[in-house]
Amino acid sequence: MPSRGQHYVILPLAAWGHLRPLLFLTFNLCALHKDLQITFMVDPVVSPRIKVEMAEHPQPKSTLDRIQIIEISEINDADMVDDLKSSGKETMPIYLKALFTGVGLGGISPAFGPPTLAIFDWFQGGFVTSLKTVCTELGVPLIPAIIYTPMLAAGLYHFWGPMQNGGFAERWGLESEKLMAQGVEKYEAYERRYDKLGGTSVIIGSISLAYSRCKSGNFVIPQLSRIAITPFWGEMVYSSYLSAHMPEVKGLLLPTLQEVEGGLVAALEEALGKNVFAVGPQFGKDVWEGKKPDLISAKTADVGEVDQSALSAKKDDQVALDFLDEQLKLKGPRSVAYISLGSLFWPVKRPELLTYLISSLPVNLTFLLSDAAAMTGLTEEMKLSFEHRGKVVKFTPQWKVLSHPAVAFFISHLGSNSMVESILSEMPTIAFPFSADQSQAAYIMCDKFKVGIELQQVRSDVDGKTRWNG
């Protein structure tokens, strides 16, 4: 195989909050390094959304020529050359082998050369095993791998920190394995142990004590009692923990900043024995330059060749933007509360919280609610109960929505992407955190920098009287 320049393989998770930052990291890396080539491997379900995003944040041809986006799907024999038909039934090894050899699958460019580095989402825990298998079969050196997670360093320490310091992924996995050894079915074991994890303090020693302090004296595991888990989520979390400790994994990429979480970054490096690269939030040049999206042309942005799936994704965007345009005409600027609780989790064990939230809005405000979460708890009955107050849509183009003059404020779970987008758009924000690193994000934004208000009803340590910290 010929020797060429650097070729990175990036494998995101299909959840938009995980994928979008890696897409812009791809653009930004190629813009900085003129000889870098990147293969972006995606689930077909998110391809339409990627096409829309690329149309609305156009990149120079010199950048796009060095990026190939490959859809990872079930392999048909017609897609493979004969020497790859015996590669096994798993899809990922087949694609990886094609990338290393330059032959085997249509759509993979041999001009890119063999991969030299892999970046994978922390919930793609089986990727390193596939990579090792392929490199061994081909007799080539194993390329270094780096984990990307959209979490803040403080939140990730909750997951991957030492068990004796309160890190819960290791404890969750080990205690679940004990149940499995007793004959309990795997996913049932993870679910049983899940309910025992709440209320664990995380100890970070003398490093950045502000992060270990909350209203009652310490941060606890994010509000696990508020969310449910899918049968496989526990396995994914434990698998991510095991991946982070593999010697083949050389480091972590986080969307945080040394200036904000330097102490926690150092604590993670010490706990994992690996480099942690705080690369900061990833957006396009237009966002960093303060340019607001064109809300008119955004509805009709060219998505290239006729692609019904991409056009369908744009129609979803247009539903939200049309509603905001309508409210702007009817009620004027700052007349809509925008609500989004992310693309993955939802407080399904406390669905009434959303009903309370909407009913508490001022009577002169309508709302726009994004129902994009994979684990949504929004029932048809709930939608009917408050549909007279606003609009529920499946997906919102968040950067455009936050830039729309009809929006008065943003009620957010405060995932890392939403936190930064709210700041960059200068949108007043109300934090409603309930899982992952969201409570730490709320602390940073609302307690430390005081640029938001946190609704505290979902905190694990509230006294029942304090409702917000603004």
Looking at the predicted structure, is the pLDDT value of residue 272 above 50?
yes
Report the candidate in 287, 319, 317 with the shortest Cα–Cα distance to residue 51.
Answer: 317
- Among 148, 169, 201, give the residue marking a domain's end: 148
Q: What percent of the chain has pLDDT over 70?
A: 77
Tell me which of 105, 130, 148 is where a domain ends: 148
Cα–Cα distance between 377 and 385 in angstroms, integer?
14
Are 365 and 435 part of one and the same domain? yes
Higher pLDDT, 171 or 408: 408
Report if residue 467 sits inside a domain.
no
Residue 307 is assigned to a structural domain of this protein: yes
Whether residue 123 is contained in a domain is answered as yes
Asked if the model's pLDDT at residue 99 lies above 90, the reply is yes
* Mean pLDDT for the stretch of residues 308-319: 70
Q: Does any domain span residue 1?
A: no
Kindly report the CATH number assigned to the domain that includes residue 85. 3.40.50
Q: Does residue 228 carry a pLDDT above 60?
A: no
Q: Which residue has the higher pLDDT, 168 or 67?
A: 67
**Average pLDDT for residues 156-174, to the nearest whole number?**
88
| Residues 378 and 418 grouped into a single domain | yes
Same domain, 367 and 255: no
Report if residue 94 sits inside a domain: yes
**Is residue 399 located within the same domain as residue 335?**
yes
Residues in the chain: 470
Residue 239 has pLDDT above 90, yes or no: yes
The segment with the largest mean pLDDT, out of 70-74, 218-222, 327-331, is 327-331
Across the range 340-356, mean pLDDT stands at 76
pLDDT in the model for residue 216 = 31
Q: Which of 278, 302, 332 is the last residue of a domain?
A: 278
For residue 466, what pLDDT is reported?
Answer: 57
Instruction: Give a yes or no: residue 2 inside a domain.
Output: no
| Between residues 456 and 90, the one the model is more confident about | 456
CB–CB of 47/69 below 8 Å? yes
Domain interval for residue 297: 293-454
Q: How many domains does the chain divide into?
A: 3
Confidence of residue 304 (pLDDT cuts 50, 70, 90): low
Query: Residue 85 — very low, low, confident or very high, per pLDDT cuts 50/70/90?
Result: very low
One domain for residues 271 and 330: no
Q: What digits encode the pLDDT tens for the residues 352-403?
A: 788 888 989 999 999 999 986 656 667 788 888 888 899 999 889 999 999 9
Distance, in Å, from the CA atom of 359 to the CA atom of 355, rounded to the nearest integer, reads: 6
Do 317 and 444 fall within a single domain?
A: yes
Same domain, 164 and 242: yes
199 and 79 housed in the same domain: no
Answer yes or no: do 63 and 110 share one domain. yes
HEC per residue, the chain = CCCCCCEEEEECCCCHHHHHHHHHHHHHHHHHCCCCEEEEEECHHHHHHHHHHHHHCCCCHHHHCCEEEEECCCCCHHHCCHHHCCCCCCHHHHHHHHHHHCCCCCCCCHHHCCCCEEEEECCCCCHHHHHHHHHHHHCCCCCCEEEECCCCHHHHHHHHCCHHHCCHHHHHHHHHHHHHHCCCCHHHHHHHHHCCCCCCECCCCCCCHHHHCCCCCCCECCCHHHCCCCCCHHHHHHHHHHHHCCCCEEEEEECCCHHHHHHHHHHHHHHHCCEEEECCCCCCHHHHCCCCCCCCHHHHCCCCCCCHHHHHHHHHHHHHHHHHHHHHHHHCCCCEEEEECCCCCCCCCCCHHHHHHHHCCCCCCEEEEECCCCCCCCCHHHHHHHHHHEEEECCCCHHHHHCCCCEEEEEECCCHHHHHHHHHCCCCEEECCCCCCHHHHHHHHHHHCCCCEEECCCCCCCCCCCCECC
Summarised one tens digit per residue, pLDDT across range 9-43 is 999 998 888 999 999 999 999 999 999 999 999 98
Check which CATH number belongs to the domain holding 366 and give it. 3.40.50.2000
Domain presence at residue 218:
yes
Residue 222 clears pLDDT 70, i.e. is over it: no
What does the pLDDT read at residue 84? 36
Average pLDDT over residues 82-100: 67
| 333-342: pLDDT as tens digits | 999 999 998 7
In a domain, 466, yes or no: no
Output the pTM of the full model.
0.85
Contact indicator for 159, 167 with CB cutoff of 8 Å: yes
344 & 437 share domain:
yes
Q: Residues 313, 262: one domain?
A: no
Shared-domain flag, residues 143 and 158: no
Is residue 260 pLDDT above 60, yes or no?
Answer: yes
